[in-house]
Every structure is written in structure tokens, then in C-alpha cells.
């Protein structure tokens, strides 16, 4: 069993970093799998329940903004990936991970594949699960922290987000180690 792993949310100034891990069932093909960033939100949302229903196993792991600040974004991403793999409840024969490196402590052999979310269906599926789960979490944070527009920009560094940071200051879900947030903290 090969498990694809990918993350969503490395670059944003706010919110968690999220990882998906998916073992696909070759007897239950899923049409339309590709890098989640190349898809519309509606297409990702449509595939999300199908992936969960047809996969042999899947997991979604998280690392909080505090963990991002304490560890750094790379290590927090690895934490989210490790959690996603553990949540599946199965140990795959191999992990294929989007990117150019892998976490150190894994339950089986792993290899990194650059742009794997475009070429490996299980990584594409993991990418979609991570992106949809993270986007939904950011919509919830938008209700908890009104005025920041998290449901629109998902915590990424847009002009609207920069303006909200300047006006409102950082909130509890901001990554304080990220330069724009750190500057806003000093200005406050």
C-alpha cells in the first residue's frame, strides 16, 4: 500500500498548517485528481467526500500557529504530516511525499517527489483533503476573529489581510514568527 502525503498552508500569515495522507483503492478510481492549487474551490469540495469514501485509508493532520512559531514552518509541516499518517490507522508499505524532503520519524520507507501532487494520484488526493480541510478551518476562524477576512484570503498575505493586521493587530491565530505579523506586533 502506497500512501500519498501533501500539505496546505505553509505560506499564510495565519492559521494552521494542514497535511493529508491518502491510500487510494485501485479498484475505486477517482476522476479529476490533480494538484489542489490547480482546481477551483467547487471542484475540490466535490472531490473531498469522494476521496474520503473511496480511499482505503486517509488522515488529516494539523500543526497550530503556535507550533509553527515554536518549531518553524518546515518542522511544523512535518509534524502535521506525521499526525495525518498516524490518524489513518494503517501502516503503508511506502510513503510518497510531495516536495523535496521527508520527515525523519516515519513508520515506513518514504521518498519525496517534487511536484508529486501533479503526477501521483494519492498525493493529489492528499493535497485536496488538506486544502479543503484547511479552507474550512479558516472559514471558522473568520467567525471567531471577525474583521480579518480569513474566509476570503485563507490567511495568505493579501492587501486586505495586511490592512486588517495594521488596523486590528494580530489575533490568536496569527503566526507571530512571520515577518508581517512580527512587524504588526511591534507597531501595536
Binding residues: 6-7, 98
Does residue 175 fall inside a structural domain? no
Does residue 31 fall inside a structural domain? yes
Question: In the predicted model, is pLDDT for residue 188 greater than 80?
Answer: no
Q: What integer is the mean pLDDT of 51-72?
A: 98
Q: What percent of the chain has pLDDT over 90?
A: 98
Does residue 88 fall inside a structural domain? yes
Question: In the predicted model, is pLDDT for residue 187 greater than 90?
Answer: no
Binding residues for a divalent metal cation: 6-7, 98
**What's the CATH code of the domain at 18?**
3.30.420.10
Does residue 166 fall inside a structural domain? no
Q: What are phi and psi of 110, to 5 degrees?
A: -140, 150
Among 180, 158, 160, 159, which Cα is nearest to 170's? 180
Does residue 56 fall inside a structural domain? yes
Q: What is the pLDDT of residues 19-49, one digit of tens each?
A: 999 999 999 999 999 999 999 999 999 999 9
Question: In the predicted model, is pLDDT for residue 117 greater than 90?
Answer: yes
Does residue 176 fall inside a structural domain? no
Range of the domain at 126: 2-146
Task: Count up the domains in the chain and report the number.
Answer: 1
Q: What integer is the mean pLDDT of 112-118?
A: 96
Amino acid at each position: 500500500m502506497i500512501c500519498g502525503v501533501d500539505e496546505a498552508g505553509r505560506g499564510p500569515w495565519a492559521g494552521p498548517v494542514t497535511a493529508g495522507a491518502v491510500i487510494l483503492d485501485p479498484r475505486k478510481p477517482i476522476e479529476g485528481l490533480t494538484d489542489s492549487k490547480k482546481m477551483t474551490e467547487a471542484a475540490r469540495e466535490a472531490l473531498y467526500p469522494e476521496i474520503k469514501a473511496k480511499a482505503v485509508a486517509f488522515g488529516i493532520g494539523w500543526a497550530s500557529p503556535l507550533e509553527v512559531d515554536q518549531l518553524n514552518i518546515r518542522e511544523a509541516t512535518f509534524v502535521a504530516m506525521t499526525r495525518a499518517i498516524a490518524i489513518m490507522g494503517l501502516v503503508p508499505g511506502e510513503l510518497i511525499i510531495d516536495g523535496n524532503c521527508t520527515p525523519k520519524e516515519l513508520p515506513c520507507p518514504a521518498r519525496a517527489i517534487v511536484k508529486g501532487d501533479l503526477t501521483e494520484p494519492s498525493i493529489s488526493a492528499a493535497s485536496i483533503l488538506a486544502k479543503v480541510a484547511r479552507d474550512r478551518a479558516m472559514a471558522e476562524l473568520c467567525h471567531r476573529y471577525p474583521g480579518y477576512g480569513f474566509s476570503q484570503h485563507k490567511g495568505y498575505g493579501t492587501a486586505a489581510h495586511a490592512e486588517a493586521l495594521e488596523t486590528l493587530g494580530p489575533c490568536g491565530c496569527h503566526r507571530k514568527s512571520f515577518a508581517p505579523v512580527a512587524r504588526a506586533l511591534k507597531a501595536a
